[in-house]
Amino acid sequence: MAIDTPYRAIFCDLLTDQTLDILPLRDVSFDDYIGKAGSLSGTIPIPDKEIADRVKKVREGRTAVYLERGGDLWWGGIVWTTTLQSSGRGVLTLGIQAATFDSYAGRRRIRTDAIKFTTPTDQLDIARRLWQELDLQEDPTPEDPTVPADPNAPAKEPRRLGITFGDEKSPDKETAMRTAAWREGDETVYQEALDQLASMKGGFEYQILVYRDPNDGKRVRRLRLGSPKIINGAADLVFDRPGSILSYSFPYDATRGGTTALARGASTNTNAGTESRPIFSRQQIASDLLADGWPLLDLSSDHNEVTDTLTLESLAKRTLDESRGAVVIPAISIHLGGIVPPALIGRFARIRIRDEWYSEGLDHRYRIIGVKVTPPERGRPDTAELYLEEA
């Protein structure tokens, strides 16, 4: 980053969150979304041996990085990739690629039979249990149990990723009570289990939020759950064009939408001599769109571990609800200023536009589902692109 950047890059040990160093970071961009992990990329300049020794503490897979702006944490995640480069002139840099803390769920697999919910349980309780289980950092049992443990070995300190949890509950108990179980040996990725659970009709959203504790200033990594959606903030943010909106786009894509949906599950055939075919849901139909003149546009989804047709019905309904007709994810680009808070994900925004297309004026309410920030550098202003969905 340029010297006058409002952001600080704080590098920490992933498991203890102890600060390793605060280092300059150039050519930075970072984003965060609901429904997928956010990313950060940047370059650390290495002008001399002293800086090189400090930068060597940044180790991929073991280091966390936070971006702080005005005392607030705007982004936090795990450094997954580093690239040491030397130019033709001998200029050294370390490029980093990081992803938000929820990306960790994509690097862990369920290797226990302990996660079972045989009686209907609130889906958010199941989600919390999955995160609590994947946050455990206990060393696996040695492959050779005949090797005796060393009685003189020092006791190991407990290690955790340090995710904290709330007590959110689903408001609609009729659609939110689930049964679920995962088996050791299936090697199910935790993120796949979470996303499958979240994608059912009446499902939920999750995000790892980073902030400073207002009481002691310590950094917090907190699992935030919302059913059916994450809602953040009481008052709407207002953006105008002409005004704070620099640019906007409204991409309508009928290739990603549909008017019917079907979900396929696992094969229940146990006879090796006959053809193996998956079970599937009934076709879900958006009758109102067909009556309005839409053609048949078919959506399909595969869920290889689902053996329950009612679950498949719920998954098909959710798919159709989220991709009816043409899919549109509006986006606006704005200047970042003091009136824009760091926790934008889940906030409602009122967008007001008046131009040649919206000659009578657009005044619409959206929810912010994604943020991509480009910090200032070499005369470039501090801007953010906000991705929106219908409120």
The dihedral formed by the CA atoms of 186, 191, 197 and 198, expressed in degrees to the nearest 10: -170
Region 50-55: mean pLDDT is: 97
pLDDT at 175 over 50: yes
CA atoms within 13 A on the CB side of 54: 16
8 A C-beta contact, residue 335 and residue 244: yes
For residue 149, pLDDT beyond 80: no
Cβ-Cβ contacts under 8 Å for 89 (sequence gap 6 or more): none
Provide CB contacts within 8 A for 379, sequence distance 6+. Answer: none
% of the chain exceeding 70 in pLDDT = 91
What is the rounded average pLDDT for all residues in the chain?
Answer: 90
301 neighbors 338 (Cβ within 8 angstroms): no
Q: What is the mean pLDDT of residues 308-315?
A: 89
pLDDT score at 153: 62
Domain assignments of the chain as residue spans, ordered by start: 7-105, 108-141+158-226, 237-251+329-390, 260-269+276-327
Q: Tens digits of per-residue pLDDT, 346-386?
A: 999 999 999 999 999 999 999 999 999 988 877 778 899 99
| Element spanning 164, H or E | strand 163-164
Q: Is the pLDDT of residue 339 over 80?
A: no
276 pLDDT exceeds 50?
yes
The DSSP line for 183-250 is -TTS--BHHHHHHHHHTSTT--EEEEEEEE-TTT--EEEEEEEESS-----SSPEEEEETTTEEEEE-
Distance between CA atoms of 202 and 120, rounded to whole angstroms?
A: 15
Q: Which residues pair with 355 in a beta bridge?
A: none
Q: How confident is the model at residue 146 (pLDDT cuts 50, 70, 90)?
A: low
Confidence of residue 123 (pLDDT cuts 50, 70, 90): very high
Give the pLDDT score at 228: 93
The confidence score (pLDDT) of residue 5 equals 60
Predicted pLDDT at 336: 84
Residues 286 and 260: their CA atoms lie apart, in Å, by: 6
pLDDT at 142: 60
Q: How far is CA 332 from CA 230, 235, 370, 376, in A?
A: 20, 19, 11, 18
C-alpha to C-alpha distances, 90 to 27, 42, 46, 51, 84, nearest whole angstrom: 19, 19, 10, 15, 12
Omega before residue 242 within 30° of 0, cis: yes
- Say which amino acid occupies 136: L
Biggest CA–CA distance in the chain, Å, is: 79
Residue 251 CA to residue 78 CA, distance in Å, equals: 31
Between 154 and 194, name the one with better pLDDT: 194
Q: How far apart are CA 373 and CA 386, in angstroms?
A: 9
pLDDT (mean) for 326-337: 91
CA distance to 18, 166, 176, 200, 211, per residue, from 218 (Å): 10, 17, 34, 36, 8
Q: Is the pLDDT of residue 6 over 60?
A: yes
Which pTM was predicted? Answer: 0.86
**Of residues 297 and 152, which shows the higher confidence score?**
297
What CATH number was assigned to the domain covering residues 237-251+329-390? Answer: 2.30.300.10
β-bridge partners, 66 = 10, 76
Query: pLDDT digits over 186-205, tens only?
Result: 899 999 999 989 988 889 99
Among the ranges given (58-62, 76-80, 166-170, 377-381), the one the predictor scored with the smallest mean pLDDT: 377-381
* Cis status, amide bond into 158, omega within 30 of 0: no
Give the DSSP letter of residue 118. E
Mean pLDDT confidence for 6-14: 92
Which tokens is 61 given? 């897979």
Cα separation, 355 vs 165, whole angstroms: 45
When the candidates are 3.10.20, 3.40.50, 1.10.10, 3.55.50, the CATH number that belongs to 108-141+158-226 is 3.55.50
Query: Would strands 348-353 and 92-100 be described as parallel, antiparallel, or unpaired?
Result: unpaired
Question: Which range has the worst mean pLDDT, 99-103, 164-168, 303-307, 311-315?
Answer: 303-307
Quote the pLDDT of residue 140.
65
| Structure confidence at residue 136 (pLDDT) | 78
CATH number of 7-105: 2.30.300.10
Averaged pLDDT, 303-325: 89
2 has pLDDT over 80? no
Residue 44 three-state SS: strand
State yes or no: pLDDT of 44 exceeds 80.
Answer: yes
Distance, in Å, from the CA atom of 288 to the CA atom of 367, rounded to the nearest integer, reads: 24
The structure tokens listed for 292 are: 């309005």
Domain pair 7-105 / 237-251+329-390, same fold: yes
Angle between helices 190-198 and 123-134 (to 10 degrees): 170
pLDDT of residue 1: 38
* Residue 143 reports pLDDT greater than 80: no
For the ranges 37-51, 71-85, 91-105, 152-166, the lowest mean pLDDT is seen at: 152-166
**What pLDDT was estimated at residue 268?**
74
Q: What is the pLDDT of residue 310?
A: 87
**Do residues 314 and 202 touch, judged by C-beta distance below 8 A?**
yes
How high is the pLDDT of residue 3?
40
